[in-house]
Amino acid sequence: MNKHLLSMHDVTAEDVVRILDTAESFREVGTRVIKKVPALRGRTVVNFFLENSTRTRISFELAAKRLSADVINFSASGSSVSKGESLKDTALTLQAMGADAVVIRHSSSGSPHQLTKWISGSVLNAGDGTHEHPTQALLDLYTMREKLGRLEGLRVAIVGDVLHSRVARSLSFGLVKMGAEVTLVGPPTLIPPDVSAWGVQESFDIESVLPKLDVCYVLRVQKERQRLEYFPSVREYSRLFGLTTGRVGLLPEGALIMHPGPMNRGVEIDSDVADLPHSMIEEQVTNGIAVRMSLLYLLLGGSRSGNANADAEEPGDD
């Protein structure tokens, strides 16, 4: 495995299998009364969140704590960043404090790449601008594999604002890497004009795509895109591209409905659809913790130290 996880391009298909397998063994930890293993005892994980994100931050925090790491939460408001400190100076501060891993969420694409110049520990991208969100993609792959038993050959549509979605990028790259067939669906203004390099299909007609799917992955629509003239109205968006109650029946039986959250009920997904039994939205959240435990464990020594010390303990040891 690479030292950092900046993009889904940093992991091979074998790495993905290893991450998901390791996550599986960690998943059980979350069902115990005492949800903790000593795997990362004495290691320091910094959650460096320069953009608001409650769910991803909490998920990483729980993951690190369940591995017994010391966790520092460093957010934009109330920190030196709000006083104008630069990314570099903040990074050097974290470095000086001995962070073993920095989990970064930032509104600027590429900031995790830049962080690696100043931080000697591992950098985990928890979402950067409109670039990537690889841990979300990995937890989604975990959920699909868990429910459908495989990734290879799965037919997955990613529906919505692909152009600005870091989830869509990471998930597309991850699915294609694992041999799945990906179709991007949405208004043409919100699909990149040239995705030839991604190895995916595109469609502007959700109803023709739904009957052929194993997974319909719905992206959050940001309403401000309407002001920027990408589509005429939220109402028309929902009519043409939403996963509505009227449309959901087109999905084959057993197909999954997924969404990275937070949802706009009634916009990209109807409320009743979100609450269907084959909607995986809560499972995604639960699996997120196990996948992030797996990543922290593998990046912080699970693979690199062969000694029988605390960090090298197999997951599940207590």
Partner 1 sequence: MTDQILIRGARVIDPATGRDETTDVLVAGGRIAGLGQGLKADGAEVLEAAGLILAPGLVDLHTHLREPGEEHKETIATGTRAAAVGGYTAVSSMANTVPVTDHAAIVAEIREKAAQAGLADVFPVGAVTKGLEGESLAEMGEMVASGVRVFSDDGRSVSTARILRNALTYARAFPIDVVIADHCEEPSLVERGQMHEGVNSYSLGLAGRPAEAEEIMVARDIAVARLTGGRIHICHLSAARAVELVRRAKADGVRMTAEVTPHHLAFTDEDLLTYDTNLKMHPPLRTAEDRAALVAGLADGTIDAIATDHAPHAVEEKEAEFDLSPPGTIGLETALAAVLTHAVKPGYLTMTRALEAMSSAPASILGAEGHGGPIEQGRPANLVIFDPDEEWIPEAPFVSKARNCAFLGRRLTGRVRYTLLRGDLTVADGKATK
Residue positions annotated with a catalytic role? 55-56, 83, 105, 133
Please identify, using beta-carbon distances, which residue of 33 and 197 lies nearer to partner 1. 197
Secondary structure class of 295 (helix, strand, coil) = helix
C-beta of 79: minimal distance to partner 1 in Å? 16
Cα–Cα distances in angstroms (integers) from residue 243 to residues 7, 45, 105, 185, 201, in the given order: 28, 38, 29, 11, 19
Please identify, using beta-carbon distances, which residue of 23 and 158 lies nearer to partner 1. 158
Residues 6 or more apart whose CB falls under 8 angstroms from that of 80 comprise 89, 90, 93
C-beta of 173: minimal distance to partner 1 in Å? 8
The verdict on 108 binding partner 1 (CB under 8 A) reads yes
- Length, in residues, of the chain: 318
C-beta of 139: minimal distance to partner 1 in Å? 19
The verdict on 196 binding partner 1 (CB under 8 A) reads yes
Please identify, using beta-carbon distances, which residue of 15 and 132 lies nearer to partner 1. 132
Distance CA 220, CA 142 (A): 20
Q: Contact region for partner 1 (CB under 8 A) — 93-101, 194-202, 257-265, 298-306?
A: 194-202
Query: What is the maximum alpha-carbon separation in the chain?
Result: 61
C-beta of 46: minimal distance to partner 1 in Å? 18
The verdict on 194 binding partner 1 (CB under 8 A) reads yes
Q: Which long-range contacts (CB under 8 A, 24 or more apart) does 145-153 make?
A: 145/20, 146/24, 146/283, 146/287, 147/256, 147/280, 147/283, 148/214, 148/215, 148/254, 148/256, 151/175, 151/178, 151/179, 151/180, 152/178, 152/179, 152/180, 153/179, 153/180, 153/181
4, 27, 66, 131: residue in contact with partner 1 (rule CB under 8 A): 131
Please identify, using beta-carbon distances, which residue of 224 and 282 lies nearer to partner 1. 224
C-beta of 118: minimal distance to partner 1 in Å? 9
Distance CA 15, CA 39 (A): 20
The verdict on 201 binding partner 1 (CB under 8 A) reads no
The verdict on 110 binding partner 1 (CB under 8 A) reads yes
94, 103, 163, 190: residue in contact with partner 1 (rule CB under 8 A): 163
Q: In the range 47-106, which residues lie near partner 1 by CB under 8 A?
A: 86-88, 106
DSSP 195-238: -GGGT-EEES-HHHHGGG-SEEEEPPPPTHHHHTTSSS-HHHHH
Number of residues that bind partner 1 (CB under 8 A): 25
Residues that bind partner 1 (CB under 8 A): 86-88, 106, 108-111, 113-114, 128-132, 163, 166, 169, 192-198
